[in-house]
Amino acid sequence: MATIRDVAKAAGVSVATVSRVINKNEYVNKETEQKVIVAMQELHYEPSSLARGLAGKKMNTIALMIPDISNPFFPGLARGVEDVAQQYDFNVFLCNSDDLAYKEKSYLEILRKKSIDGLIIISNNVNEEELEPLRMANIPVVLLDRPFNEQNYSVVRSNNRNGAIMAVEHLLAIGCKKIAHIAGPEKFVTARERRLGYEGIVSQYSWYTPSLIEHANFDIEGGKQAVTKLVANNTDIDGIFAGNDLMALGALKQLIKLGKNVPDDIALCGFDGISLTELTQPEITTIQQPIYEMGAAAALTLIKKLKGEITETKIQELDVKLIIRGSTEKGKKLPLAT
Amino acid sequence: MATIRDVAKAAGVSVATVSRVINKNEYVNKETEQKVIVAMQELHYEPSSLARGLAGKKMNTIALMIPDISNPFFPGLARGVEDVAQQYDFNVFLCNSDDLAYKEKSYLEILRKKSIDGLIIISNNVNEEELEPLRMANIPVVLLDRPFNEQNYSVVRSNNRNGAIMAVEHLLAIGCKKIAHIAGPEKFVTARERRLGYEGIVSQYSWYTPSLIEHANFDIEGGKQAVTKLVANNTDIDGIFAGNDLMALGALKQLIKLGKNVPDDIALCGFDGISLTELTQPEITTIQQPIYEMGAAAALTLIKKLKGEITETKIQELDVKLIIRGSTEKGKKLPLAT
DNA sequence: TTGAAAGCGTTACCAC
DNA sequence: GTGGTAACGCTTTCAA
């Protein structure tokens, strides 16, 4: 590997000059610049990121900390992040935390040691204090999807509460008379916001009782279990708003197993817009978050901060969208699955 | 951030000594060691990876180059890779190539500049020549899933041909009399191997004709299109072996749309074992690859190479497994979806 | 506009 | 066992 010295020698100039043409900051004589460029090409010179980093430059590396890339919600986000990063010549470290505080902490340390430039994080655990070392090290952080604090950090999230309202209103619009909600764990801001959206609407109705809310884990199994309980406790439910798509998927499975017709007996609406909801029979109506765009927006915000193009912290709340599919199209004839 | 100098000063020893206790290679007096350790803790000293890297040490960073993290096949692999990496204190760069040669090339350059220690790659494009620079730089490479060369690189893959044979034999065993195959693009080794496995079995039968093989893209749309053609050209097909699960998913959708009963009219078997196949109605029988384990094995191999615990290149061929589900359980009464 | 040289925080070699 | 110090490859300040 050729070094900057080799280039300098080959071009007959000083190391400093070569550095100047690499960084394009200071003025360099056009002719000298050409000589240097030629020398760089001939030697296939590639600056060492390490050395630049040590000398105080950015590494063009960010980290993306998510609970679990194998959860279908995250790959889209990750792709959005990585695409933008790629576009701006950044690389991204993938960090799976499993939403475990100790893994997150351990990563935060490592990332500092490795001189990453910035962090995009999705976490329920992390707080001001844990991020303090990054603040000290001047490493900007963007909170994605689940902000714990919207004052001191840039945040990218979607409008969960509105989405929930849209979901419930849609179920009402198609004629549902008693709508249950499968809520995610309360430790998720997103779960809380969606529950609040649901409650905001249904609490005006006389049929509403708190037992229409069933909490469950944000996964398929959670959806199944919740449905079982819900159906046992409330014989006349005719609509379910699931707090995320995975739970909706589980709910659908279980409803079919229990012999319920979806949507005619019970209509179902999910939240997230992951592609799995298009594969079921019937397909699942859902509140679509702009997942990819959220990742992309987070990455863009972070990179602009790193480049100094943004200094203030800002909140980006992206809009969600109701996607109507078979699971709420009552009375429509669907092709049989078996 | 405290540096090694600060620690040395605080402990009243030389920088070299501190370095020694950090690296635990050479002998250091127990007492001095203690002093140093105490000093490190008091100053919250954390060695800079950059500096270590510049000085010739490994960065404990590997790259994972895959086509697209949002393709459901890859997150499991990525998770396997990252888990093992995490366990050995490595970080992983996520690189989405979209299977595009120019993106791959660009990444290969960047990775070299950034002094990554090793690479795990899934690619149809990359070849000996393109990886030469890494070889020169002494950066080990592990080929995952789609080896282009099994001589000079360590390879982790699964037994595609066997899997295909298992799939076809299963379809025969449940009574299928005419089995078609939706094959992936020929540029994928995996697609070719599966097709060969299929042909190996069916070519012995009198009903076999090459028109039973339909090529399509490895995605849902591909599966749909292939089914349309297949059904149009071969009215008496009663079994389909899809070259991967995404195609099987599309195939199922289209079969239902065409009014076919799966499995009674046409049985269906996929390949990969991604979790989506459990969500459909009926659930899809598939040949399950140990996806997570493949990622984990690749990472383990790479890291062992980096640690010098392995020197030779080796091939790991993991076994696949037939998972029987509704799409091949003929005559079994399934709950209705609508 | 350019060059010399002092860092950046480690490691590793050579002395003692 | 331990210390001194060149070297890793670059950026940046200071002079010229």
Nucleotide nearest to B20 (CA to C1'): C11
Q: Is B178 domain-assigned?
A: yes
* Same domain (yes/no): B25, B142: no
For residues A88 and A35, state if they share a domain.
Answer: no
Q: Which residue of chain B is at minimal alpha-carbon distance from A264?
A: B338
Residue A335 lies in a domain: no
DSSP H stretches of helix in chain A: 4-11, 15-23, 30-42, 49-54, 74-87, 101-113, 128-136, 160-173, 189-202, 220-233, 245-257, 291-306
User: Could you give the angle at the alpha carbon of B282 between the alpha carbons of B272 and B329, nearest 5°?
Assistant: 85
Same domain, A167 and A281: yes
Number of structural domains in chain B: 3
Same domain? For A190 and A264 the reply is yes
Cβ contact B281–A95 (<8 Å): no
Per-position pLDDT tens, chain A of length 338: 899 999 999 999 999 999 999 999 888 999 999 999 999 999 999 999 999 999 999 999 999 999 999 999 999 999 999 999 999 999 999 999 999 999 999 999 999 999 999 999 999 999 899 999 999 999 999 999 998 877 789 999 999 999 999 999 999 999 999 999 999 999 999 999 999 999 999 999 999 999 999 999 999 999 999 999 999 998 899 999 999 999 999 999 999 999 999 999 999 999 999 999 999 999 999 999 999 999 999 999 999 999 999 999 999 999 999 999 999 998 765 554 44
Q: Is the peptide bond before A282 cis (omega within 30 degrees of 0)?
A: yes
Q: What is the CATH number of the domain that holds B121?
A: 3.40.50.2300
B218, B244 contact by CB (below 8 A): yes
The verdict on B111 and B173 lying in the same domain is no
Helix (H), strand (E) at residue B247: helix B245-257
Q: Which domain holds residue B223?
A: 160-289+323-328
d(CA B151, CA B137): 19
Q: How far is the CA of B13 from the C1' of D3 (A)?
A: 8
Do B243 and B173 lie in one domain? The reply is yes
Q: What is the pLDDT of residue B332?
A: 66
Quick one: A74 and A147 in the same domain? Answer: yes
Residues A249 and A137 in one domain: no
Single-letter code of the amino acid located at B6: D
Q: Is residue B203 part of a domain?
A: yes
In a domain, residue B336? The reply is no
Q: Within a domain: residue B116?
A: yes
Same structural domain, A221 and A266: yes
The spacing between the Cα labelled CA in B90 and the C1' in D10, in angstroms, equals 25
Which tokens is B28 given?
Answer: 């250091």
Tokens of B19: 């370095």
User: Which residues in chain B show pLDDT less than 70?
Assistant: 332-338
CA nearest B261 in A: which residue?
A338
Asked if strand C comes closer than 7 Å to B21 Cβ, the answer is: no
Instruction: Check residue A26 and give its pLDDT.
Output: 85
Q: Which of residues 52-111 of B touch strand D (CB under 7 A)?
A: 54-56
For residue A201 the two structure tokens come to 């609407």
What is the per-residue pLDDT for A333? 55
pTM tops 0.75: yes
B177 φ/ψ angles, rounded to the nearest 5 degrees? -110, -15
Note whether A197 and A254 are same-domain residues: yes
B54 CB below 7 A from strand C atoms = yes
Query: In this structure, which amino acid lies at residue A248?
Result: A
CB-strand contact A109/C, under 7 Å: no
3-state secondary structure of B288: strand
Nearest CB partner across the interface for A279, out of B95, B280, B338: B280
Do residues B171 and B241 both lie within one domain?
yes
Task: Give the pLDDT score at A338.
Answer: 42
Residues 51-80 of A with CB under 7 A from strand D: 51-52, 54-57
Cα–Cα dist B19/B4, whole Å: 8
Q: Which of B109, B257, B282 sits opposite A335 (nearest CB)?
A: B257
The whole-number pLDDT of residue B150 equals: 76
Report the candidate in A71, A123, A67, A73 with the shortest Cα–Cα distance to residue A286. A73
In a domain, B335, yes or no: no
Domain assignment of residue B180, yes or no: yes
A338 domain-assigned: no
Distances (CA, A) of A97 to A100, A142, B17, B127, B286: 6, 16, 35, 34, 30
Q: Are residues A143 and A211 in the same domain?
A: no
The CATH code of the domain that includes A17 is: 1.10.260.40
